[in-house]
Amino acid sequence: MRSGRWKGVLAAVGAAFGLCACEFMGLTTGEEDVAEVSVSADAIRLEEQAPAAMGFDVVGDMGEIHVGPTEPEPEPTPEPVSVSEDAVAEEGVSGNSASENMAAYAAAAGSYDLTALKKMNFTEEQMAEILAYYDGAVFAGDSVLLGFRNYAAKSSDGFLKSLKFLAAGSFSLHNAFWPVSDKSVHPLYQGEQHPVWESLQMMEAKKAFLFFGINDVSLGMDESISLYPQLIDKIKELSPDIEITIISATYTLKDAGTRGLNNTNLAAFNEAIRAKAEENGWGYIDMATVLSDGEGNLAAQYCSDGFVHETAAAYEVWTQMLIRYAADQLGFETPGMDEILVAPEPTEEAVSEKEAAESKEEPESVNEENAEEVPEETEPAEDTAEETAVQ
């Protein structure tokens, strides 16, 4: 099936589920490449059989499209995950709303101003060290990370093109432990599926950047949180010297969550994994916050499908955050999160409304002690006190 026909198929499926067929990207090795689309009540999953080589060129022809099951055996439909404050307190996870979990960065209405992030300046020598920091680094994760891999593959930037990935649609902490089969979703390395810890060993990875959570939070918070250190333990068994960095799970568009996959749960998951990263000495990159709208949702300009997948503009932010992270690890001066996440300057209309509101505020009452300190040129203290008391 050529590109015109599969785009029509995806457009029809996307229309039923609020997704945009144009955002599904394929990889080319010829007509033998296979991509499977599994449609469930919760989401549309894009399963791909990627090229054997690690250098990926992205084009429009995906080969044949098959609609059918992609998992070894049917899983029971997960119950919606309700994160109550009491239950979560016992688990050590914040149960607040996503925006409250971001209070440390002074969440503000509207998108964040990322000017400080974009204006980072480094010398040529520093930039060379920053780029060299990612030598031997491998990024492993789900379809949002797959989008970053596609973005990097299409880029003319040498740094982005040098990055290595183990990414697949529907990949999660849960199915990362599945045995390899024709229905498992492990990312391909050299044309074959392997558990991610084996692939990292074969790639002789020195650093692993892990991006998980979006496909996990609806399957149970406790189990999902516990699986991250288990996965890292498996990686460390085969690659004991590898450095681990967690990239936070990014949010869905506002009110676009389904069942347990919602921004409250994603924020709670991120907070729990951030704590585990600090406890275990793993690195942590807060990608969710810089891509948010200031209220705990994926900002509209960073969403490509009305749900959870991301635009090129989002991946530009990913790139800047990776540069900032490496610079920080190397001891170079970088902007803090409080500098990056500065709310945009208020509009003139907003300023006028604020001034009008302040002008209507009642003056504080003047007690006798304060009245005695009023300068002589003002009205007599007794009159002032009497007037304010009436008000």
In sequence order, what are the beta bridge partners of 193? Answer: 188
- Mean pLDDT of the chain, nearest integer: 73
**Is 78 within the bounds of a domain?**
no
**Is 253 within the bounds of a domain?**
yes
- The yes-or-no verdict on residue 389 having pLDDT over 70 is no
b/e per residue, 173-196, with b = 16+ CB within 10 A?
Answer: bbbbebeeeeebbbbbbeeebbbb
Mean pLDDT for 329-355 is: 75
In sequence order, what are the beta bridge partners of 59? Answer: 26
Q: What is the pLDDT of residue 338?
A: 84
Question: CA 265, 301, 248: angle at the middle one, nearest 5?
Answer: 35
- The yes-or-no verdict on residue 266 having pLDDT over 70 is yes
**Is 240 within the bounds of a domain?**
yes
- The beta strands (E) that lie in the chain are given as 26-27, 34-39, 44-49, 58-59, 64-67, 137-141, 164-167, 188-189, 192-193, 207-211, 243-247, 283-285
Residue 187 and residue 50 share a domain: no
Domain tally, the chain: 3
Distance CA 159, CA 73 (A): 40
Mean pLDDT for 92-107 is: 38
- Tell me the residue range of the domain where 59 lies: 3-67
Residue 272 and residue 366 share a domain: no
Mean pLDDT for 362-375 is: 41
**Is 79 within the bounds of a domain?**
no
Given 34, 67, 100, the domain boundary residue is: 67
Residue 49 or 255, more confident: 255
Residue 100 and residue 30 share a domain: no
**Is 74 within the bounds of a domain?**
no
**Is 119 within the bounds of a domain?**
yes
Residue 114 and residue 145 share a domain: yes
pTM of the entire structure? 0.65
Residue 357 and residue 279 share a domain: no
Residue 93 and residue 29 share a domain: no
Q: What is the pLDDT of residue 355?
A: 66
How much of the chain exceeds pLDDT 70, in percent?
59
Residue 383 and residue 325 share a domain: no
In terms of Cβ atoms closer than 10 Å to its own Cβ (0-12, 13-18, 19+), residue 37 is: buried
- The yes-or-no verdict on residue 251 having pLDDT over 60 is yes
**Is 155 within the bounds of a domain?**
yes
- 100 with 294: CB under 8 angstroms? no
Q: What is the pLDDT of residue 118?
A: 87
Residue 158 and residue 15 share a domain: no
Give the tokens for residue 154: 């299409």
Residue 170 and residue 153 share a domain: yes
SS (HEC) of 98-123: HHHHCHHHCCCCCCCECHHHHCCCCC
Residue 50 and residue 102 share a domain: no
Give the tokens for residue 89: 């307190």
Residue 61 or 145, more confident: 145
Q: Measuring CA to CA, which residue among 206, 169, 205 is closest to residue 187?
A: 169
b/e per residue, 235-245, with b = 16+ CB within 10 A?
Answer: beeebeebbbb
Say which CATH number the domain at 189 has. Answer: 3.40.50.1110
Residue 324 and residue 353 share a domain: no
Residue 356 and residue 335 share a domain: no
**Is 80 within the bounds of a domain?**
no
In terms of Cβ atoms closer than 10 Å to its own Cβ (0-12, 13-18, 19+), residue 311 is: buried
Residue 129 or 21, more confident: 129
Of the pLDDT bands very low, low, confident and very high (cuts 50, 70, 90), residue 115 is: confident
Give the tokens for residue 277: 């990263």
Cα 174 versus chain centre, distance: 18
Q: What is the pLDDT of residue 8?
A: 44
Residues in the chain, total: 391
